[in-house]
Amino acid sequence: MFSFYRHPIDYDVHPNLKKKLPPEAGASNFLTRLLSDVHTGELGFKELGIAKQVIRQVTITGTRDLMAESLFRIGKYFGWVPVGGMGSKESEEADDATAKVCIEDIVRSAPEERYADHNSPEWEVFYQRNKMDCQLYELARSTWRAQIQTIIPLTLQKKRAGEGEDAEADGKDR
């Protein structure tokens, strides 16, 4: 499973996102509530811990501010081949170039992330109501960086398991 995270302030100020979110999204710490499956009432460290565990252990993480790199990494992990690509070892470089161009076209049309003035009174109020979600966003960014070293592309996974193109070629020579 993969997921993308954007700063919690974006959900609060984006005019169209609120229309698409469920009614309980108006409550504070929406993401923490969603990931911990606690939609009403007080949130505590237990719910925050559950949400953190979901981000760290369950998902391939992407962030809105690193959308292009995230999409490319997720595509490599799942072994997605771009339209017109061959999906072979020989075409990997051309396939990657095609994927990057396609991803850049998609990302270019996405709305920009908004940044808040962290010294304003409005930010202080928002942060007090959404402190857990802000922590989750920072954890998602940290997880994204950690996954640079831990996420192994599907082609390499298959090769190591003896199922890739190199393994098939070795089997034919015997």
Domain boundaries, the chain: 2-165
Closest CA to 63 of 74, 52, 76, 54: 74
pTM of the model: 0.77
Distance of CA 55 to the CA centre of its chain: 9
Per-residue pLDDT tens digits for 112-138: 666 667 788 888 888 898 999 999 999
Six-digit token string for 3? 């997921």
- Give the strand pairing for 60-63 and 2-5: parallel
What is the predicted pLDDT for the residue at 166?
58
Average confidence score pLDDT of the chain:
83
